[in-house]
Amino acid sequence: VQLQQWGAGLLKPSETLSLTCAVYGGSFTDYYWSWIRQPPGGGLEWIGEINHRGSTNYNPSLKSRVTISLDTSKNQFSLQLTSVTAADTAVYYCARSTVTIPWGNWGQGTLVTVSS
């Protein structure tokens, strides 16, 4: 399976971050689809996940601003993060896991920079 992601790389404060991840070579069933981010030179932060039924879990630290959605007809899932600030500057990754096995497949990463 391959995950390929895309989206805008430069945003202004208060704008909405929008990223999409396409899944090639695998189905959506029986997997969880996550977004994870990493600020420059920093550690990894799990943003949230969605399963094939559309059920979501979000990190409480971001929950008020995050929406993860699914388009099974296109084998894609998406991330929206509203009201971004400079603190949201990071490389954003999409990734696949199962209920019991963590993220064995990752997208290539997208650097999103928030700057006025």
Partner 1 sequence: DIVMTQSPDSLAVSLGERATINCKSSQSVLFSSNNKNYLGWYQQKTGQPPKLLIYWASTRDSGVPDRFSGSGSGTDFTLTISSLQAEDVAIYYCQQFYSTPFTFGPGTRVDIK
| Residue 43 binds partner 1, judged by CB under 8 A | yes
Interacting residue with partner 1 among 22, 45, 67, 72 (CB under 8 A): 45
Among candidate residues 66, 102, 80, 75, the one with its CA nearest the CA of residue 3: 75
Three-state SS letters, 4-28: EEEECCEECCCCCEEEEEEEECCCC
Antiparallel, parallel or unpaired: β 110-114 and 10-11: parallel
Among 12-20, 21-29, 66-74, 93-101, the segment contacting partner 1 (CB under 8 A): 93-101
Closer by beta carbon to partner 1, 16 or else 61:
61
**Contact residues: partner 1, CB under 8 A:** 43-46, 57, 59-61, 93, 95, 97, 100-104, 106-109
